[in-house]
């Protein structure tokens, strides 16, 4: 995110008419607002505290401050009843996604203590502390009629559900902010004939906010020629630390891969890349063929260092990988391999880059005499995704060229895999292998997707909401 943390605006709303009527009410509400601020700050973001907005002037100023301080997300904390006219100027001026926090001080009013209060004025003052649900329909009506998208968190202070929901919205906002600060490099061209992965790059930038940089393979090949022997030897040594290099890997192939890996690092730095997709045969050009046939170890290292790389020029899928990476799920490139109907499991994997940070054990490096469907030969990576909960994510394009997220949660499980020098894992799904395959395909995805660790469907639904696109969960 361009070196800065997410900036979250927090505004409490109330009604100025109450303050002279109910002694201490405003002070108590500001105390609750402070608790919410501390909760949000605990997620590691920068909180822009806008105070308690209770009239038109303070609403306008809070909105202007959101713009000045480049707030990414606005939490609107309903502390008590507030008229909707104090909300609209703030939200219109802020111009960022809004999360309405409908949070009581506790799970319920202490009715016995309430009954012991000295008079009805004191009782009303305490009731107003719990009157957070009252204006939410009014605010929702306003937003619906004004065409302002919004989302809600309902509960009480200190509730785990509330803390989890706020953290999830912040995680989603970090994804959207990161995409808008990301440069995605595209090197080469589409794999000829894969119509599902072709896309409109202008629409990609418009929807996801990414910058697309068109890169030349020739530049990467030129950078390879500049790598000296000392750096080469260091990178080969790094391969042995990072990977489980198999005995049948020749020194010549390791040096070729090391040269490309070092050049890739310099290439990514020169273009300030946050992700990359590539495909290039290099036929008829010896230097480029040498580059592209030795790229897998270097792209795997980049992916593990949070610069996800997708093969076959899969720009939609590398966005899915980047989303998973920012969420902390570490997205890796994958596709369907086969179905084990006897075990009720789906086999998935891919040639090319793998995310070694989510491997079950150490990632193996194996030599391949042929890259199936591609030019050349060289080293490849073989790994399974660590056993446990996983999430699949696909960025899907429909017939009107609009995008949606398609998500599924499952488990990476143990069992025999195909030791063919590719990433390869076995997955089980709650609806069974057959049901999952049919339900997933019914969404019209491209044949690639991103796989990440953990169950992240709730976070991904929020990412889609903030992007303004649908999210379909296959379950």
In a domain, 1, yes or no: no
Average pLDDT value for the chain: 95
List the CATH number of the domain containing 422: 3.20.14
In a domain, 48, yes or no: yes
The Cα 237–Cα 303 span in angstroms is 19
- Same domain, residue pair 156 and 200: no
What's the rounded mean pLDDT across residues 183-188?
A: 97
pLDDT exceeds cutoff 50 at 410: yes
What's the rounded mean pLDDT across residues 134-142?
A: 97
List the CATH number of the domain containing 19: 3.40.50.10940
* Residue 226 confidence (pLDDT): 95
- Burial degree of 8 (CB within 10 A; 0-12, 13-18, 19+): buried
* Residue 352 confidence (pLDDT): 83
Name the pLDDT band for 5 (thresholds 50, 70, 90). confident
pLDDT exceeds cutoff 70 at 172: yes
**Partner residues linked to 365 by β-bridges:** 245, 381
- Same domain, residue pair 355 and 208: yes
Residue-wise pLDDT tens digits, 10-48: 999 999 999 999 999 999 999 999 999 999 999 999 999
Long-range pairs of 26-31 with CB within 8 A, sequence gap ≥ 24: 26/52, 28/129, 29/79, 29/80, 29/129
Name the pLDDT band for 421 (thresholds 50, 70, 90). confident
Domain final residue, candidates 154, 179, 204 = 179
* Residue 1 confidence (pLDDT): 44
Domain final residue, candidates 146, 179, 212 = 179
Name the pLDDT band for 284 (thresholds 50, 70, 90). confident
* Residue 418 confidence (pLDDT): 85
What's the rounded mean pLDDT across residues 439-443?
A: 97
Residue-wise pLDDT tens digits, 191-244: 999 999 999 999 999 999 999 999 999 999 999 999 999 999 999 999 999 999
Domain final residue, candidates 142, 162, 179 = 179
- Same domain, residue pair 120 and 15: yes
* Residue 368 confidence (pLDDT): 86
CB distance 226 to 264 below 8 Å: no
The Cα 5–Cα 463 span in angstroms is 17
The Cα 76–Cα 67 span in angstroms is 16
- Same domain, residue pair 433 and 384: yes
What's the rounded mean pLDDT across residues 277-305?
A: 91
pLDDT exceeds cutoff 70 at 145: yes
* Residue 420 confidence (pLDDT): 86
User: What are the Cα distances from residue 219, in Å, to 160, 227, 271, 418?
Assistant: 51, 13, 11, 35
Kindly report the pTM of this predicted structure: 0.94
In a domain, 239, yes or no: yes
Buried b / exposed e along 394-433 (16+ C-beta atoms within 10 A):
bbbbeeeeebbbbbbbbebbeeebeeebbbbbbbbbeeeb
- Give the chain's domain count: 2
In a domain, 365, yes or no: yes
Phi and psi (nearest 5°) for 441? -65, -30
pLDDT exceeds cutoff 70 at 138: yes
What's the rounded mean pLDDT across residues 133-161?
A: 96
- Same domain, residue pair 209 and 66: no
Name the pLDDT band for 373 (thresholds 50, 70, 90). low
- Same domain, residue pair 230 and 374: yes
- Same domain, residue pair 315 and 348: yes
CB distance 16 to 55 below 8 Å: yes
The residue segments making up the domain with residue 221 are 182-474
* Residue 369 confidence (pLDDT): 75
More confident site: 376 or 71: 71
- Same domain, residue pair 270 and 285: yes
In a domain, 2, yes or no: no
- Same domain, residue pair 138 and 269: no
pLDDT exceeds cutoff 60 at 302: yes
- Same domain, residue pair 220 and 360: yes
User: What are the Cα distances from residue 196, in Å, to 200, 207, 316, 396?
Assistant: 12, 18, 10, 9
- Same domain, residue pair 251 and 367: yes
For residue 133, give every residue at least 6 positions away whose Cβ sits within 8 Å of its Cβ, in sequence order, or none: 102, 104, 154
What's the rounded mean pLDDT across residues 48-62?
A: 97
* Residue 281 confidence (pLDDT): 79
- Same domain, residue pair 147 and 240: no
User: What are the Cα distances from residue 341, in Å, to 166, 346, 409, 425, 427?
Assistant: 40, 8, 19, 15, 12
pLDDT exceeds cutoff 70 at 3: no
Weakest-pLDDT range from 261-265, 310-314, 368-372, 409-413: 368-372
In a domain, 198, yes or no: yes
The Cα 31–Cα 35 span in angstroms is 7
pLDDT exceeds cutoff 60 at 97: yes
């Amino acid at each position: 995110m361009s070196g800065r943390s997410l900036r979250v605006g927090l505004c409490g709303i109330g009604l100025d008419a109450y303050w002279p009527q109910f002694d201490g009410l405003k002070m108590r509400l500001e105390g609750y607002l402070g608790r919410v601020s501390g909760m949000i700050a605990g997620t590691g973001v920068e909180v822009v505290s806008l105070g308690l907005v209770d009239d038109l002037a303070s609403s306008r100023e809070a909105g202007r401050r959101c713009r000045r301080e480049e707030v990414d997300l606005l939490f609107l904390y309903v502390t008590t009843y507030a008229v909707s006219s104090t909300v609209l100027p703030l939200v219109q001026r802020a111009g960022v996604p809004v999360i309405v926090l409908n949070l009581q001080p506790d799970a319920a009013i202490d009715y016995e203590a309430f009954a012991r209060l000295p008079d009805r004025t004191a009782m009303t003052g305490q009731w107003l502390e719990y009157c957070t649900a009252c204006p939410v329909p009014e605010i929702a009506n306003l937003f619906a009629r004004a065409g302002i998208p919004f989302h809600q968190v309902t509960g009480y202070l200190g509730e785990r559900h509330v803390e989890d929901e706020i953290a999830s919205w912040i995680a989603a906002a970090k994804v959207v902010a990161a995409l808008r600060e990301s440069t995605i490099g595209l090197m080469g061209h589409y794999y000829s004939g894969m119509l599902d992965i072709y896309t409109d790059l202008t629409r990609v930038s418009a929807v996801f906010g990414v910058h697309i940089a068109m890169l030349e393979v020739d530049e990467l090949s030129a950078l390879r020629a500049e790598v000296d022997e000392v750096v080469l030897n260091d990178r080969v040594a790094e391969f042995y630390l990072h990977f489980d290099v198999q005995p049948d890997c020749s020194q010549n192939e390791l040096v070729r891969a090391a040269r490309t890996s070092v050049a890739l690092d310099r290439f990514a730095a020169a273009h300030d890349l946050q992700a990359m997709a590539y495909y290039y045969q290099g036929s008829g050009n010896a230097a480029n063929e040498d580059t592209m046939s030795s790229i897998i170890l270097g792209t795997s290292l980049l992916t593990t260092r949070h610069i996800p790389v997708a093969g076959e020029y899969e720009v939609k899928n590398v966005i899915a990988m980047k989303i998973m990476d920012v969420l902390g799920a570490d997205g890796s490139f994958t596709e369907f391999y086969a179905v084990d109907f006897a075990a009720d499991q789906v086999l998935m994997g891919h040639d090319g880059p793998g995310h070694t940070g989510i491997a079950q054990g150490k990632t193996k490096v194996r030599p391949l005499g042929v890259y199936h469907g591609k030019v050349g030969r060289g080293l490849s990576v073989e790994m399974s995704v660590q056993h446990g909960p996983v999430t699949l994510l696909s960025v899907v394009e429909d017939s009107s060229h609009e995008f949606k997220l398609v998500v599924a949660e499952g488990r990476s499980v143990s069992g025999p895999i195909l030791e063919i020098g590719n990433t390869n894992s076995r997955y089980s799904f709650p609806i069974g292998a057959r049901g999952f395959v049919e339900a997933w395909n019914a969404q019209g995805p491209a044949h690639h997707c991103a796989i990440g660790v953990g169950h992240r469907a709730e976070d991904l639904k929020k990412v889609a909401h903030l992007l303004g696109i649908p999210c379909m969960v296959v379950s």
